[in-house]
Structure 1
Amino acid sequence: MAPNKHTPHVLIFPYPSQGPLNCMMRLAELLAISGLHVTLLNTNDTHLRLCLSSASLPAIPLLRFKSIPDGLPEDRPRDASLLRDVAESLNKNSRLLLYDLLLAMKNDEYSSDGFPPITCLISDGFFPSFVDLAEDIRLPCLSFRTPSACSMWAYLCIPKLLENGELPFGEGVDLDEVVQGVPGMEGFLRRRDLPEFFRGAKSADDPQLKFMSTVSAYSSKAKGLILNTAEVLESTSVHHIRAQIPVTYALGPLHAILDSYRSARSCTDASSHTSSLWQEDTECLKWLDLQTDNSVVYVSFGSFTTLTQEEFHELFFGLINSGHKILWVLRPDMVQGLAWTDEIKRALPEEQGRIISWTPQQKVLAHRAVGCFVTHSGWNSTLESIVEGVPMLCWPFFLDQQINSRFVSEIWRVGLDMKDIRNRDLVEKMVREMMEGESAARFRKSARDLADAVKESISDGGSSFREFHRLIEDIKSMSIGQQCDS
């Protein structure tokens, strides 16, 4: 059936890195499977990497892919060290390109591929200028913040923390002192559980504090805020965010909702594509098949975390000394000053495990052989572990990871948090606690219970299920409103 003049068409623009792309691409697929036209817009570099790493892009009739330059020279590497450079370039150099593209797609009649004009923009919340851009061309814009709700709430509380005198910390303070300026977390959130740049701030004018505070507050200018979470996980944070941003959708975990929709609609191509920007090593799944239940420690620190050589050695020997089987994802750029060679891969005795460069993480976490997950506590990884009922040993580094790891250990009680203490003895001790005896059984039961609660939230009638359908209906209403305005 050809689209009519009220057909909704959403353009989704993720931040050009693995984490945001993961969940925003899942949202794009979900909306397209649900009958909305969707254009997923990436930077040229991200789109090329996605095409090279994936067996194929998803063949969904109502989903298409486009790309624009990020404004940086083509020969400049796009790695973790240039994360801020890419963001600044997109906000400055690519803004006019995006403006022209949106205006053309908004005003055009049906394009050659049958897509109607766009009626809504969903932009990563790290691009506050795009909210203004959409407003300039009278296009409804929703902001998508891809970290956890608890971290988003902490960012929104930066002005209150400054007013209370709890920021900046100053030197030599007790990092275990409980923070009072984040309502709902007064009983357990310590200074050390706040993002790492909070600690480094020397004054209220600290550039990172001001940037994060401004970016977070800007979400209130959009038509709504999308969070990849479930209320059963973060009800208090979602409640407080809604007090400032009333139209807030808590509709995650998106990867679990997408899996459910694919299954219900018998999407046979689901396993042939991925949102990974790295080539996945699927041979590790065959190795896992040979292991006994709950016998493997899975280790992965995501797409941007880097380790010093000292941190690498402490983690390595702690894992080895635990005596447990290990599957370790070690990116080529992960250890500072240490080349990723066959020698590193062979450093782990073959009988004790494997070191690989990238892995299909959801499938690994779902495997019966995995007993715990040593993680950087990135939000996508945390959600994937929760859904599969896998306990976590948290080694957080930056942004939302510090708060996420605190929730893992103190609120959900599905793991342990070893932030700020990184030595082989503690690694060994905590791995044993996660994998052996009564403590391991307790963590696994808590993880299974939490997984059941989250899965209920995405099932028919659950809170995330309802929130997702509310989002769809609101996008449809925006589409009708667009036609009435034009």
Structure 2
Amino acid sequence: MNLSTKTTTPAQACTRSPTASAGMEPAAHVLVFPWPLQGHINCMHHLATALLDAGLHVTFLHTHHNLRRLATKPAPALSQPRLRLLSIPDGLPEDHPRSVAHLNDLMDSMRTTGSAAYRALLLASSSNKDGHPPVTCVIADGVMAFAVDVAEEVGVPAIAFRTASACSFLTYLSVRRLVELGEFPFPSDQPVSGVPGMEGFLRRRDLPRAPRPAGSATDDCGVDPMLLNMGECTVHSGEARALILNTSASMEGPALAQIAPHMRDVFSVGPLHVAAGTGTKSTAPTASLWREDDGCMAWLDGQQDRSVVYVSLGSLTVISEEQLAEFLSGLAATGYAFLWVLRPDMVAGGTTTSLAAVKTLVGEKQARVVHWAPQRDVLRHPAVGCFLTHAGWNSTLEAAYEGVPMVCWTFFGDQLINSRFVDTVWRTGVDIKDVCDKAVVEKAVREAMESAEIRAAAQAMARQLRLDVADGGSSSSEIKRLVAFIRDLL
């Protein structure tokens, strides 16, 4: 199903449709409310598509700022009458950068201005006149604890959705224990015992951390306020009617088993970027805030199979000119061609000299640089041999589903633990998280491109994930169970 770009004001939020008229069962109508960052929007967009495929009504709630950015993209070919896009203010000035360095500003403004507008929207949900039924359930991003509380306060059942991995969710759930043991995030190999089931391989350097300033190599050894806040939000998910995770039982069964006793119910429905498309025989469309450069696909067509390194460090990572030089030198030394996603705001100080450096060092034949790429199409292209990634969960799942080996260089948050699982648990890639050095980059890329063992593990995981999302698979069955759960809330 395609998500239309129709905009409705909060005063038009929800009303009864013909399906909810006298003598008929009310329609299930889910309001999906993501944290307003690209990775969270993508994942919850795929969930919305899956719910639409199942016949539910969906309201997708953006911020005004993000909806304006989406409005600059081409409109979908087909509209979806059971879907609306609404928006609320995020409370920040339009010229605010909303970058990774200002996440606390966004969090504070969403808790105040955003929360008040969200409450008003929900309260107006029964007096709407645009043909949509009342909202009967909220699925709120779990990092916004207020969104669960407000919905329940106004009488709308709320489900929490965490867009990160189960292994990172379990780590955040264990923050209180980590603090008691003094096992704070720090770039060292000292083992961690405070996360159940991970005692044998988790190190302090693998615990989630706040974003690093561009170019920094170390962090203060203290209790990270971001870690404490995320821990509180994670525990709070137990107050929701249920928890949804974008993962599969085959991929993260042990972590899911540890999480389940702390939640009222848990649905493992991933990878959603594929599962969401099973009802329409296609993968779900993106909701990108960046314009994708499709021209890179023609460049890939001209490359040999498994000869290209795809490089993308996500929508928030910021690196220094020095780090860029190390990455670039390491990639050039491998001799492999590479496709590099280099956002305009990614390099501290700008990307003008960065682009010139790429052209000077390797030339356009070995390297293609774009501001943003159609990542799922890139990863399934036969020319791509490995993925140099920040190990965000969306990227990790997309690579896993396509069987593409990974090299993980992390920036912050759940990426650090995802990269450890890629390397040590799943063995589908190489983790270089704290090191940005030409020789290390070259060695890791060569290993990911050339290791038969890594490629075999990656392809085995891909085969299992395809079974999980196929009809009758574990994730497919979980989506059906989730839909039934939502309908039972009526």
With the length of structure 1 as denominator, give the TM-score of the two structures: 0.91
State how far apart, in whole Å, the 2-side matches of 1:461 and 1:432 are.
38
2:287 is the alignment partner of 1:275: yes
1:461 — aligned with what?
Answer: 472
Match of 2:197 in 1: 184
Change (3 A) 1:14 1:435: same
Cα distance in 2, alignment partners of residues 307 and 201 from structure 1: 19
Change beyond 3 A, Cα 1:390–1:58: farther
Alignment of 1:335-484 (within 5 A): 335-340=347-352, 343-344=356-357, 346-347=359-360, 348-436=362-450, 439=451, 441-479=452-490
Identity of aligned residues (%): 46
TM-score normalised according to structure 2 size: 0.90
Letter in 2 for 1:180: S
| 1:74 alignment counterpart | 94
SS of alignment partner, residue 123 of structure 1:
strand
Q: Secondary structure of the residue that 2:18 maps to in structure 1?
A: coil
2:130 aligned partner: 113
Note the residue ranges of structure 2 that are not aligned, 5 or more in a row.
1-16, 212-217
CA distance in 2, matches of 1:319, 1:304: 21
Report what 1:286 is aligned to: 298
> Are 1:316 and 2:328 an aligned pair?
yes
For 1:413 and 1:375, the matched residues in 2 are separated by: 15
Deviations 1:52-73 (A, max 9, x none): 1344386222111111111112
Q: Provide, for residues 432-452 of structure 1, a one-character-per-residue CA deviation record: whole Å limited to 9, x for no partner.
A: 22223xx2x222221111001
Whole-angstrom CA distance in 2 between matches of 1:72 and 1:133: 21
Q: Is the 8 A contact 2:163 2:246 kept in 1?
A: yes
Alignment of 1:205-224 (within 5 A): 206-224=224-242
String of CA shifts for 1:100-125, please: whole Å, max 9, x gaps: 110111x22xx443210100011111
1:355-391 CA distances to partner (integer Å, 9 max, x unpaired)?
1110000000000000000000000000000000100
Separation (CA, whole Å) in 1 of partners of 2:102 and 2:343: 17
- The aligned amino acid for 2:488 is S
Shift of 1:176: 1.0
SS of corresponding position for 2:356: helix
- Number of aligned residue pairs: give it: 462
Which whole-Å CA distance do the structure 1 matches of 2:222 and 2:409 have between them?
27
1:230-289: CA deviation from partner (whole Å, max 9, x where unpaired): 1111111111110111401111000011232221xxx6xx78x53111110001101111
Structure 2: how far apart are the matches of 1:372 and 1:235?
26
Q: What amino acid maps onto 2:205 in structure 1? A: R
Question: Does the CA contact (< 8 Å) of 2:49 and 2:277 recur in 1?
Answer: no
- Give me the whole-angstrom Cα distance separating, in 1, the residues matched to 2:294 and 2:440: 31
C-alpha distance 230-45 of structure 1, shift in aligned 2 (>3 A): same
Shift of 1:455: 1.1
Corresponding residue number in structure 2 for 1:32: 52
1:2 to 11, 18, 21: 18
Work out the CA distance in 2 between the residues paired with 1:74 and 1:166. 40
AA aligned opposite 2:417: I
Give the letter aligned to residue 73 of structure 2.
Answer: S
Secondary structure of 2:280 counterpart = helix
Residue of structure 2 equivalent to 1:50? 70
Conservation of the 8 A alpha-carbon contact between 2:185 and 2:205: no
Task: Report the CA distance between 1:149 and its aligned residue.
Answer: 0.7
2: CA distance between counterparts of 1:282 and 1:16? 25
Alignment correspondent of 2:119: 99
Aligned-residue Cα RMSD (Å) equals: 2.0
1:159 aligns with 2:172: no
- Alignment correspondent of 1:149: 166
Q: Does the 8 Å contact 2:50/2:277 carry over to 1?
A: no
User: Structure 1 CA distance, aligned partners of 2:76 and 2:59?
Assistant: 17
- Aligned residue identity for 1:94: G
Query: Contact 2:241 / 2:264 at 8 angstroms: preserved in 1?
Result: no
CA distance in 2, matches of 1:165, 1:299: 36
Q: Distance in 2 between matches of 1:343 and 1:160?
A: 48
Shift in Å, 1:31: 0.5
For residues 95 and 68 of structure 1, what CA distance do their matches in structure 2 show? 9
How far is the alpha carbon of 1:339 from its aligned partner? Answer: 3.2
* Cα pair 2:45 2:286 within 8 Å, conserved: no
Change (3 A) 1:86 1:24: same
The structural deviation recorded for 1:209 is 3.2
Verify the 8 A CA contact 1:57 1:274 in the aligned structure 2: no
Is the CA contact 2:185–2:207 (under 8 Å) kept in the aligned structure 1?
no
In the TM superposition, residue 89 of structure 1 has moved relative to its aligned partner by 0.4
Q: Following the alignment from structure 2 to structure 1, what is the Cα–Cα distance between the partners of residues 219 and 328?
A: 28
